[in-house]
């Protein structure tokens, strides 16, 4: 395990894993800590780039992402480009449902946590049965066209 990991953070992650019935293996701990420290959803490739140098192989990273998703500790999102992105689920929400923004120029992905999604249990539309994902596309601040 990476010596840079904070002992308190490692113990917190161990407790979270035990709380959902998963063993706290070094790979699971490393994947969860990487996702907790990420500023945006991460792809398998991005996590592998970070964790392979620490001694974890790509298949191990993928298996752990699958296990953590199945245990509902992590959300898996596909944003229209056929690439899964993973992020920590917000414990304050029963589902970590918030919109995501994708820049159409550079592909940058950002969570739009500040935009609330109506509680599906109380608000129903006569046109929509269930919302599974909200995706907003546009230009990020770095790629905004100069003519605007």
Which residues, 6 or more positions from 70, have their beta carbon under 8 angstroms from its beta carbon? none
Radius of gyration of the chain (CA): 17
pLDDT digits (tens, 9 = 90+) for 78-103: 877 788 989 888 665 544 467 878 88
Q: Is residue 109 within 8 Å of residue 41, measured between CB atoms?
A: yes
Domain boundaries, the chain: 1-89, 97-148
- Class at the top of the CATH hierarchy for domain 97-148: alpha beta
Judged by DSSP in three states, 112 sits in coil
Domain 1-89 CATH (choose: 1.10.3720.10, 1.10.10.10, 3.40.50.620, 1.10.390.10): 1.10.10.10
Write out the two tokens for 147. 């003519």
Please, what sign has the CA dihedral across residues 20, 86, 67, 48? negative
Q: How far apart (Å, rounded) are the C-alpha atoms in residues 18 and 140?
A: 39
Give the pLDDT score at 145: 76
More confident: 31 or 148: 31
Please, what sign has the CA dihedral across residues 135, 51, 91, 121? positive
Q: Is residue 100 within 8 Å of residue 42, measured between CB atoms?
A: no
- For residues 110-123, average pLDDT: 68
Residue 104: φ, ψ to 5°: -75, -15
pLDDT digits (tens, 9 = 90+) for 21-74: 999 999 999 999 999 999 888 999 999 999 999 999 999 999 999 999 999 999
Q: Is residue 97 within 8 Å of residue 117, measured between CB atoms?
A: yes
């Amino acid at each position: 395990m990476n010596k840079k990991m904070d002992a308190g953070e490692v113990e917190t992650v161990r407790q979270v894993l035990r709380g959902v019935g998963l063993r706290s293996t070094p790979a699971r701990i490393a994947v969860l800590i990487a996702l907790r420290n990420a500023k945006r959803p991460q792809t398998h490739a991005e996590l592998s780039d970070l964790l392979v140098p620490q001694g974890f192989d790509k298949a191990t990273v993928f298996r752990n992402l699958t296990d953590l998703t199945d245990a509902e500790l992590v959300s898996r999102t596909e944003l229209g480009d056929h690439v899964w992105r993973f992020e920590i689920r917000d414990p304050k929400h029963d589902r970590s449902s918030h919109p995501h923004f994708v820049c159409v120029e550079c592909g940058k992905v950002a969570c739009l946590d500040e935009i609330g999604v109506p509680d599906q249990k109380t608000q129903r539309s006569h046109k929509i049965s269930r919302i599974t994902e909200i995706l907003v596309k546009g230009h990020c601040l770095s790629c905004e066209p100069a003519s605007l």
